[in-house]
């Protein structure tokens, strides 16, 4: 008898089937399928092998079997006959015949499980009840009771942990909200303070400029004399020589031109201190694709010189950092400044260091020349003294304003960060946690940065600065990005997975991908009261 109705019943595994299969498998591995029907209320149906109770009604030995996708109807004797007739694998739930079938193990005493039917009779015990190996030599023992017991115990422990953790979490939420509220109050206070400070600064500024004008006029004659003297000494030839030497150093291929790439190898020009000199940064200095000597000397040299001097330690930046040097979110204070790069960063971030502002210096430019001041007459001396006082007072006022501004900025930054749905992560800010393995000590400061320091000393490495929440659910994973660049590789990143625990603790560190670090951090902040899963629904 010809069965032409079966046309096309078999074909090699197809791509789409596999796509679906992938989804199924992933779900299966992630989730232990919990039966909808508790054992007590299950109807008494004898199920074909590999069929779950929920699907049992689809397999009625009294009737012909219809493939779930409706594509075909078969005599019931072809169900589980070790030959794949349904394209959707539904006729072979208990054998390995269909390429993307699903086998259900009841696992009485433990969780039921769905496995790919390719694991049926392959010699490996995948189900704790051993039902997947009914015709192999694997000799599986039923370990469900044992496994179920320990699974239940583990679930209980987990539930207890969640419960305790959740209480702590609620505290954290309260504290977090409180801290945030406090900060808002403080912010309001600061905003008021700022007005006052700004007013004082303005006042002092005008006093200062008056005093300085008087001083300037008095000094004019001395200055002229001094400048003539200096002009004699500071030869522009010397300057040109220095510039030329630098030009040659930068022109690595000695072709008489400096290019972007020449600058990119010099950390000096890393204005934002992110570990690499971007094209943009290089262009800031050279403004062209390539520079010959004369353009270099005329245009680029004046911009470069301060950076080169800064590198040599000859120059401290002016009290107001140039607008282009700006590294938002960078805060090196937590980190031991034990490498040169970080040193520079600090200098930038702490303009207060530039205490040399009491030297009368018109341009605010660096000067290596320290000369004996000329002798002034008494009147001039007094005016100088007045001006100095006015400047000191102005500086104090200016500093006060900047202090206020900084605190405002800090608080606003803090308030602007995402501390979780219920502010449960607020209290983690400002704290740091360490983990030490065979070679390194890792330090994770939530909302700030992650670093790695060799145990045997040596320079530390920033693995990343606070980036964002990237988990699923969102608040289960922190990403720190834009860490120091790797040799011949990308910038480092650090991913921190958060798990429920009673204490805040960094519990593991690894580098699964080169320059991609992975941490586990346990914290009560992610402990939610689980729905009671201590009693798995058994199929009995």
Partner 1 sequence: MATHRDMRFSLIALAAVFCILVANVLSVDRNNFRTCDQTSFCRRCRGVQPGASPYQLNLDSLQTTASSVSAEILNSVLNVKFVFHLYSLADNTFRMKINELSPLKPRHEVNFVLNGEPNYVRLEVLEKTSEKAVVKSGENKVEIFANPFRVDVYRGTELLISTNARGLMRFEHLRPKPAPKPETPEGEEQAAVAPTDDTESDPGAWEENYKSHHDSKPNGPSAVAMDFTFPGAEQAYGVPLHADFFALRNTKGIDPYRLFNLDVFEYELENGMSLYGAIPVLYAHGLKESAGVFWLNTAETWIDIAKPDGENVVSSIVNLVSGSGQEPQVDAHFMSESGIVDVFFFLGPKPLDVFRQYSALTGSAPLPPLFSLGYHQCRWNYNDEDDVRNVALGFDEHDIPMDVMWLDIEHTDGKKYFTWDPVKFAHPTDMINNLTAMGRKLVTIVDPHIKRDGGYFLHQDAEANGYYVKNKDGNDYEGWCWPGSVSYLDLFNPVVREYYASRYLLSNYVGSTLDLHIWNDMNEPSVFNGPEVTMLKDNIHYGGWEHRDVHNQYGFMQHMSTYEGMVKRSQGTLRPFILTRSFFAGSQRYSAMWTGDNLADWGHMRMSVPMCLTMAVSGYSFCGADVGGFFKYPDAELFARWYQLGAFLPFFRAHSIIESKRREPWLYNPDTTAVVRQAIRRRYNYLSLWYTLFYEHSRYSTPVILPLYALYPKDKDVYAIDNEFLVGDALLVHPVVTSQASEVQVVFPGENERWYETETFELFRGRSTVSVPVDMNKIPVYQRGGTIVSRLERVRRSTALMHNDPYTLVVALDDKGFAKGTLYIDDGETFKYKSNEYLYIQFEFSNKSLKAKFIDKKAHFPSKAWIERVVILGLNKKLSSDPIVKSKSVGEQSLKFSSDDSYNVVVVRKPGVSVTEEWTLSFSF
User: Does 49 interact with partner 1 (rule: CB under 8 A)?
Assistant: no
The footprint of partner 1 on residues 69-88 (CB under 8 A) is 81-83
Residues 85, 3 contacting (CB under 8 angstroms):
no
Least Å from the CB of residue 336 to partner 1? 23
Q: Which is nearer to partner 1, 8 or 328 (CB)?
A: 8
Least Å from the CB of residue 288 to partner 1? 24
Which one among 438, 456, 457, 472 touches partner 1, defined by CB under 8 A?
438
Residues 392, 399 contacting (CB under 8 angstroms):
no
Which one among 26, 178, 320, 470 touches partner 1, defined by CB under 8 A?
26
Q: Which is nearer to partner 1, 232 or 438 (CB)?
A: 438
Least Å from the CB of residue 131 to partner 1? 17
Task: Give the CA distances from residue 53 to residues 59, 443, 471, in Å, rounded to whole numbers and listed in that order.
Answer: 10, 51, 35
User: Does 21 interact with partner 1 (rule: CB under 8 A)?
Assistant: yes
Which one among 313, 514, 528, 540 touches partner 1, defined by CB under 8 A?
514
Which one among 379, 489, 503, 528 touches partner 1, defined by CB under 8 A?
489
Least Å from the CB of residue 450 to partner 1? 19
Segment interacting with partner 1, rule: CB under 8 A, options 114-122, 164-172, 210-218, 324-332: 114-122
3-state secondary structure of 182: helix
3-state secondary structure of 171: helix
Provide φ and ψ at 112, rounded to 5°. Answer: -65, 160
Least Å from the CB of residue 28 to partner 1? 9
| Sign of the dihedral through C-alpha 257, 260, 266, 272 | positive
Which one among 35, 96, 461, 522 touches partner 1, defined by CB under 8 A?
96
User: Does 455 interact with partner 1 (rule: CB under 8 A)?
Assistant: no
Task: Give the CA distances from residue 293 to residues 141, 181, 235, 238, 277, in Å, rounded to whole numbers and listed in that order.
Answer: 83, 59, 19, 16, 22
What is the Cα–Cα distance from 40 to 47, expressed in whole angstroms? 16
Q: Which is nearer to partner 1, 119 or 288 (CB)?
A: 119
Provide φ and ψ at 509, rounded to 5°. Answer: -145, 135
Which one among 10, 31, 406, 532 touches partner 1, defined by CB under 8 A?
10
Residues 6+ apart with CB under 8 A from 48: 59, 79, 80, 93, 94
User: Does 314 interact with partner 1 (rule: CB under 8 A)?
Assistant: no
Q: Which is nearer to partner 1, 336 or 489 (CB)?
A: 489
Mutual angle of helices 301-312 and 279-286, in 10-degree steps: 120
Give the other-Cβ count within 10 Å of 287's Cβ.
12
Residues 6+ apart with CB under 8 A from 28: 102, 113, 114, 115, 116
Least Å from the CB of residue 321 to partner 1? 33
The footprint of partner 1 on residues 317-356 (CB under 8 A) is none
Least Å from the CB of residue 27 to partner 1? 11
User: Does 4 interact with partner 1 (rule: CB under 8 A)?
Assistant: yes
State the number of binding residues for partner 1 (CB under 8 A).
48
Report residue 203 CA to chain centroid gap: 44
462 HSE (CA, 13 A, CB side): 29
- Beta-bridge mates of residue 73: 66
Least Å from the CB of residue 442 to partner 1? 16
Which one among 3, 237, 359, 362 touches partner 1, defined by CB under 8 A?
3
Q: Which is nearer to partner 1, 48 or 109 (CB)?
A: 48
Segment interacting with partner 1, rule: CB under 8 A, options 14-22, 171-179, 377-385, 499-507: 14-22
What is the Cα–Cα distance from 33 to 210, expressed in whole angstroms? 82
Look-up of token digits 């001083």: 215
What is the Cα–Cα distance from 533 to 540, expressed in whole angstroms? 18
Give the other-Cβ count within 10 Å of 395's Cβ.
18
Which one among 61, 123, 256, 336 touches partner 1, defined by CB under 8 A?
123
Provide φ and ψ at 197, rounded to 5°. Answer: -60, -40
Which one among 50, 87, 116, 483 touches partner 1, defined by CB under 8 A?
116
Instruction: List interacting residues with partner 1 (CB under 8 A).
Output: 1-15, 18-19, 21-23, 25-26, 29, 81-83, 96-97, 99, 116, 118-119, 121-124, 136, 438, 486-489, 510-514, 516
């Amino acid at each position: 008898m010809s069965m032409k109705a079966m046309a096309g019943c078999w074909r090699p595994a197809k791509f789409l089937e596999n796509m679906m299969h992938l989804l199924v498998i992933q779900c299966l591995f992630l989730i232990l399928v919990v039966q909808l029907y508790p054992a007590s209320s299950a109807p008494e149906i004898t199920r074909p092998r590999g069929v779950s109770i929920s699907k049992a009604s689809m397999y009625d030995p009294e009737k012909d079997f219809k493939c779930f996708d409706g594509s075909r109807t078969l005599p019931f004797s072809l169900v589980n006959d070790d030959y794949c007739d349904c394209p959707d694998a539904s006729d072979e739930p208990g054998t390995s015949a269909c390429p993307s079938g699903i086998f259900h193990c009841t696992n009485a005493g433990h969780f039921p499980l769905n496995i790919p039917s390719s694991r049926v009779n392959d010699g490996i015990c995948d189900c704790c009840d051993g039902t997947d190996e009914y015709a192999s030599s694997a000799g599986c023992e039923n370990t469900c009771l044992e496994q179920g017991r320990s699974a239940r115990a583990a679930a209980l422990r987990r539930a207890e942990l969640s419960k305790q953790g959740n209480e702590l979490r609620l505290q954290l939420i309260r504290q977090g909200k409180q801290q945030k509220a406090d900060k808002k109050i403080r912010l309001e206070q600061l905003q008021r303070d700022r007005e006052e400070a700004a007013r004082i600064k303005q006042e002092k500024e005008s006093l200062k400029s008056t005093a300085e004008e008087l001083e300037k006029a008095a000094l004019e004659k001395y200055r002229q004399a001094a400048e003539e003297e200096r002009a004699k000494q500071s030869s522009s030839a010397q300057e040109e020589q220095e510039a030329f030497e630098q030009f040659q150093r930068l022109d690595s291929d000695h072709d008489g031109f400096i290019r972007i790439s020449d600058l990119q190898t010099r950390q000096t020009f890393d204005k934002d201190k992110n570990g690499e000199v971007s094209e943009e940064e290089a262009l800031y200095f050279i403004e062209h694709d390539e520079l010959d000597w004369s353009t270099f000397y005329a245009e680029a040299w004046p911009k470069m010189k301060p950076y080169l001097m800064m590198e040599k330690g000859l120059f401290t930046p002016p009290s107001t950092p140039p607008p282009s040097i700006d590294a938002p979110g960078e805060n090196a204070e937590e980190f031991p400044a034990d490498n040169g790069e970080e040193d520079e960063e600090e200098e930038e971030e702490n303009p207060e260091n530039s205490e040399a502002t009491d030297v009368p210096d018109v341009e605010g430019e660096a000067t290596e020349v320290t000369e004996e001041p000329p002798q002034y007459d008494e009147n001039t001396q007094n005016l100088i003294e007045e001006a100095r006082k006015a400047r000191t007072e102005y500086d104090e006022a200016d500093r006060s304003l900047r202090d206020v501004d900084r605190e405002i900025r800090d608080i606003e930054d803090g308030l602007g960060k995402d501390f979780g749905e219920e502010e449960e992560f607020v209290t983690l800010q400002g704290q740091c946690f360490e983990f030490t393995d065979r070679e390194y000590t890792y330090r994770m400061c939530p909302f700030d940065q992650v670093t790695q320091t060799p145990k045997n000393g040596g320079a530390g490495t920033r693995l990343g600065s606070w980036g964002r929440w990237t988990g699923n659910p969102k608040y289960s994973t922190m990403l720190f990005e834009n860490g120091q660049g790797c040799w011949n590789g990308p910038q480092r990143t650090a991913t921190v997975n958060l798990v429920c625990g009673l204490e805040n603790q960094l519990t593991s560190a690894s580098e699964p991908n080169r320059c991609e670090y992975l941490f586990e951090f346990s914290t009560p902040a992610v402990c939610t009261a689980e729905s009671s899963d201590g009693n798995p629904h058994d199929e009995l």
